[in-house]
């Protein structure tokens, strides 16, 4: 645990970076790119302006998730970030849905690297590493702090262009976090520049802990093709209730309007009372002597000094403050539901 504790201390006073090899990237081109994606995903792509972004889901007609994606408006193109293991198949699936539209979907995962930078000095490290973009970010060292303040003020998923690519404010963590999108050929140079600016590499465990601390579900562990996005708490982040039709909309609207938004289960954040042992993914969530759900993601929280988790529980128990037991391999660990995830 000492390594992740050291990393956590670093984000409190410095910056860490990690390449997002768990993410894939799709480029959507053509005059009809926004209209094409608008008809497929759950959020309002047509409302995007240049240098802004959104989070959305892509659903089956039955309202189950096929993927989640961050979509960035890059002026003459859209860039969608998806789970890495889905990138190739999703690009083929979407491309196969194009008929008369002027749109093209290309898997550019190998062409574009994505580097996450987190910490209180993340913006300063980025400002020092990237230098001038001809307008807002200047290479003069005396302006780094001013540039860092400007970067720090970026709204969630907003972006700015640099000579090396673009930088977007990330929504993956509760601490300052940014994604750098750069040509794969420039990846090593950008990493060297970040490290020269004081950032050091983060572990996968640290990034996972930050995600779970922020209550952000990930496709794969927390969301699958059996998941309705409302179960994962994605209504506010990923679903527009005012846009036109998209795949799966009928089910979502039915749950919202006829069912009052109630779903059978809900993804929640849990904190374990004791530092050890670490409960595994799949541990049962026991309420009132009955299993009412299971854990989907688990990490050690350096901030709390004990395990934290995400998991689904029955709707009736999905309330912050609910006391539970986590059951696995003969253990019965007391824990508490601290928040709804999403």
Burial of 9 (C-beta count, 10 Å sphere; 0-12/13-18/19+)? exposed
Whether 58 and 161 share a structural domain: yes
User: Which residue among 263, 285, 307 closes a domain?
Assistant: 263
What confidence score (pLDDT) does residue 142 get?
55
Same domain, 224 and 334: no
Nearest 5°: phi and psi at 121?
A: -105, 20
> Where is the domain boundary, 240, 263, 286?
263
| Residue 335: CATH number of its domain | 2.40.30.110
273/334 same-domain check: yes
- Same domain flag for 194 and 287: no
320 and 207 within one domain? no
Among 224, 244, 263, identify where a domain stops: 263
Do 257 and 273 have their domain in common? Answer: no
**Per-position pLDDT tens, the chain of length 342:** 458 999 999 999 999 999 999 999 999 999 999 999 999 999 999 999 999 999 999 999 999 999 999 999 999 999 999 999 999 999 999 999 999 999 999 999 999 999 999 999 999 999 988 863 433 444 455 566 667 788 888 999 999 998 879 999 999 999 999 999 999 999 999 999 999 999 999 999 999 999 999 999 999 999 999 999 999 999 999 999 999 899 999 999 999 987 677 899 999 999 999 888 899 999 999 999 999 999 999 999 999 999 999 999 999 999 999 999 999 998 899 999 999 999
**Same structural domain for residues 213 and 234?**
yes
In angstroms, the CA 293 to CA 247 distance is 29
Q: What is the pLDDT of residue 340?
A: 97
| Structural domain containing residue 104 | 1-263
Q: What string of DSSP letters covers 119-147?
A: STTHHHHHHHHH---SSS----GGGHHHH
- Tokens standing for 195? 């490290």
Indicate if 207 and 311 belong to the same structural domain: no
Please give the pLDDT value at position 136: 43
Q: Are residues 215 and 330 in the same domain?
A: no
111 cis-preceded (ω within 30 degrees of 0):
no
| Rounded Cα gap, residues 49 and 299, in angstroms | 36
Q: What is the pLDDT of residue 163?
A: 81
The count of structural domains within the chain is: 2
- CATH code assigned at 14: 3.30.1360.120
* 44/130 same-domain check: yes
């Amino acid at each position: 645990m000492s390594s992740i504790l050291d990393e956590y201390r670093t984000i409190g006073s410095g910056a860490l970076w990690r390449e997002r090899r768990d993410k894939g990237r799709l480029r959507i081109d053509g005059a009809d790119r926004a209209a094409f994606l608008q008809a497929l995903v759950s959020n309002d792509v047509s409302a995007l302006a240049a240098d802004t972004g959104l989070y959305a889901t892509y659903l089956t007609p039955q309202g189950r998730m096929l993927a989640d994606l961050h979509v960035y408006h890059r002026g003459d193109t859209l860039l969608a970030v998806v789970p890495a293991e889905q990138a190739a198949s999703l690009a083929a699936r979407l491309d196969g849905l194009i008929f008369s539209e002027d749109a093209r979907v290309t898997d550019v995962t190998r062409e574009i690297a994505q580097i996450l930078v987190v910490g209180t000095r993340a913006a300063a490290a980025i400002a020092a590493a990237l230098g001038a973009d001809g307008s807002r970010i200047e290479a003069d060292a005396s302006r780094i702090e001013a540039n860092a303040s400007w970067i720090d003020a970026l709204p969630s998923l907003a972006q700015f262009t640099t000579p090396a690519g673009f930088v977007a404010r990330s929504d993956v963590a509760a601490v300052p976090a940014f994604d750098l999108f750069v040509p794969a050929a420039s990846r090593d140079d950008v990493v060297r520049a970040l490290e020269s600016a004081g950032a050091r590499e983060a572990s996968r465990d640290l990034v996972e802990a930050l995600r779970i601390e922020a209550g952000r579900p990930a496709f794969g562990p927390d969301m699958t093709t059996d998941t309705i996005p409302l179960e994962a708490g994605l209504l506010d982040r990923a679903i527009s209730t005012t846009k036109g039709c998209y795949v799966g909309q009928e089910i979502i609207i039915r749950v919202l309007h006829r069912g009052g938004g109630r779903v059978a289960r809900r993804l929640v954040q849990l904190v374990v009372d004791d530092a050890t042992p670490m409960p595994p993914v799949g541990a049962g969530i026991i309420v009132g002597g009955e299993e009412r759900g299971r854990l989907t993601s688990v990490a050690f929280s350096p901030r709390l000094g004990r395990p934290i988790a995400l998991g689904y529980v029955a709707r009736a128990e999905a309330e912050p403050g609910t006391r539970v037991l986590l059951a696995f391999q003969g253990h019965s660990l007391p824990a508490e539901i601290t928040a709804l995830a999403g």
